[in-house]
Amino acid sequence: MRIIADFHIHSLYSKGTSKDMNLDGISEGARIKGLNLVGTGDFTHPAWLEELEEKLEEVREGIFSYKGVYFILTTEVATYFEKDGKIKRIHHVIHAPSFEIVKQVNEALAKFGDLKADGRPILRMTAAELVEVLMEISREIFVYPAHAWTPWVSCLGSFSGFDSVEECYEEQTKHVYALETGLSSDPSMNWRVSSLDKFALLSNSDSHSPRSWRLGREANVFELKKLSYKSLHEAIKKKDSKRFLYTIEVPPEYGKYHFTGHRSCGVCLHPREAMKLGNVCPKCGRKLTVGVLQRVEELADRPEGYVPRKHIPFKRLIPLCEIVAEVYKKSLLSRRVLEVHDKLVRNFGSELDVLLKTPIEEIAKVAGERVAEVVKLVREERVSFVPGYDGVYGKVILDSDFSNKEGKSQEGSKRRSFSQKSLSEF
């Protein structure tokens, strides 16, 4: 059974989240994207949990269903604590096997923070304490660091993180089997840090919207004889490449924190340039937000291109609406972009079907030669970007004379490609 799963999303009860992130919106968005398993997100929020209990039907052990889409019970929590005189803000993803376990988790975590305040609650406890509390409830609970490299709120982040997973979770690291790579890194970047070899690398969207350029933009692909909570997590823990086939990644340049920079000054820098400047903004003199690429370089003990012997492969994709919008030079929500996107989905089943397996000549018949050619280039990983930095998403380049109008800054204003070939000019 082929499973395409996005475990980390948020409900309408999280701050900054679309009101359409209810079960109807999530399930519809999942079908359009091509996901058949989605995390519920936010099970710590009382109102969302009540809706989940009312509407989800358990169809297999730990697996629930709503309108043709499978769900598992998940949430994200933030732990804020002080260590060595520094404030640490670490986010974690939690999977639970049943509503009974979820209620025990919520009862325990309510002692450390207000679960009603946000779908992603802030807990005043250490990362190690969180895992210890969860393991005392059930060893079936699955917990791992969210977006592990994000500068401000992550296990390995440049501002509030640690230099290793072990420093973060201490003796409780033995119960942590995975980490989430986040949008600004991909597995190849994580493979450069040998201490991460023991962890499975998961890719999730952290979506706040059911739109197809958010939900499922990163995902995990499995082949299971029978879908269950247990079989799914065994495949992850063992990094079993026969069952855990690959992850879907957006190119890390697309992420909001890939390069180092300063958004308010429009300064975007490759790590080499940032380090030459002492990580200080050349315009205002303030400290730069150190991006994920630079942070990985700081912790890496392997060269670029290193591939561990036992690893789960990955595929880089760009959301279909992003491709169509860039081809037509229109906004993601423009009528033209949505019409082309929806026509492709109606003809070929889902967005991931279009991006991964629909013949290029068939795409051309429905959406035209230009869209088809760019899908081909995405599959071949021949796409260029202006990298994201300091909270600004990266930008796909389809025009050879593209210049970064938001602020040129040494290497940060240059295109960056994840292959040696850049896109042809249309």
Assigned token pair, 392:
């600004």
Alpha helices per DSSP H over 58-186 = 99-109, 127-137, 165-169
What the block records as the tokens of 198 is 């023991």
Packing angle of the helix pair 320-328, 369-379 (nearest 10 deg): 130
Question: Which residue has tokens 């730069």?
Answer: 288
Structure token pair of residue 423: 């896109």
Q: Is 196 helix (H, G, I), strand (E, B) or coil?
A: helix
Measure the CA–CA gap between 10 and 208, rounded to whole angstroms: 5
- Averaged confidence pLDDT in the chain: 93
Query: Are the CB atoms for 316 and 418 separated by under 8 Å?
Result: yes
Rounded to an integer, what distance in angstroms lies between the CA atom of residue 351 and that of residue 341?
8
Residue 40 tokens read as 């519920």
pLDDT at 383: 86
Rounded CA separation 97/123 (Å): 22
Question: Contact 18/210 with Cβ under 8 angstroms?
Answer: yes
The CA-atom distances, in angstroms, between 64 and each of 4, 41, 270, 339, 385 are 15, 13, 44, 32, 39
Q: Given this model, what pLDDT does residue 397 score? A: 85
Q: What's the pLDDT score for residue 399?
A: 54
Report the distance separating Cα 250 and Cα 185, nearest Å.
9
- Dist. CA 130–CA 421, nearest whole Å: 46
Q: Rounded to whole angstroms, how far apart are CA atoms 383 and 418? A: 7
E strand or H helix that includes residue 32: helix 23-33
pLDDT in tens, the chain (426 residues): 999 999 999 999 999 999 999 999 999 999 999 999 999 999 999 999 999 999 999 999 999 999 999 999 999 999 999 998 999 999 999 999 999 999 999 999 999 999 999 999 999 999 999 999 999 999 999 999 999 999 999 999 999 899 999 999 999 999 999 999 999 999 999 999 999 999 999 999 999 999 999 999 999 999 999 999 999 999 999 999 999 999 999 999 999 999 999 999 999 999 999 999 999 999 999 999 999 999 999 999 999 999 999 999 999 999 999 999 999 999 999 999 999 999 999 999 999 999 999 999 999 999 999 999 999 999 999 888 899 999 999 988 875 433 333 333 333 334 444 433 222 222
Is the distance from CB of 324 to CB of 398 less than 8 angstroms? no
Q: pLDDT tens digits, residue range 270-306?
A: 999 999 999 999 999 999 999 999 999 999 999 999 9
CA–CA distance, 255 with 416 (Å, rounded to integer):
13
CA dist., res. 259 & res. 183, Å (int): 12
**Cα 415 from Cα 226, distance rounded (Å):** 44
In whole angstroms, give the CA distance from residue 288 to residue 281.
Answer: 6
Query: Angle 147-81-143 (CA atoms, 0-180°, nearest 5)?
Result: 40
With 0-12 / 13-18 / 19 or more C-beta atoms within 10 angstroms meaning exposed / middle / buried, residue 136 is exposed
The 10 Å CB-count burial string (b at 16+, else e) for 36-70 is bbbbbbbbbbeebbebbeebbeeeeebbbebeebb
DSSP state of 257: T
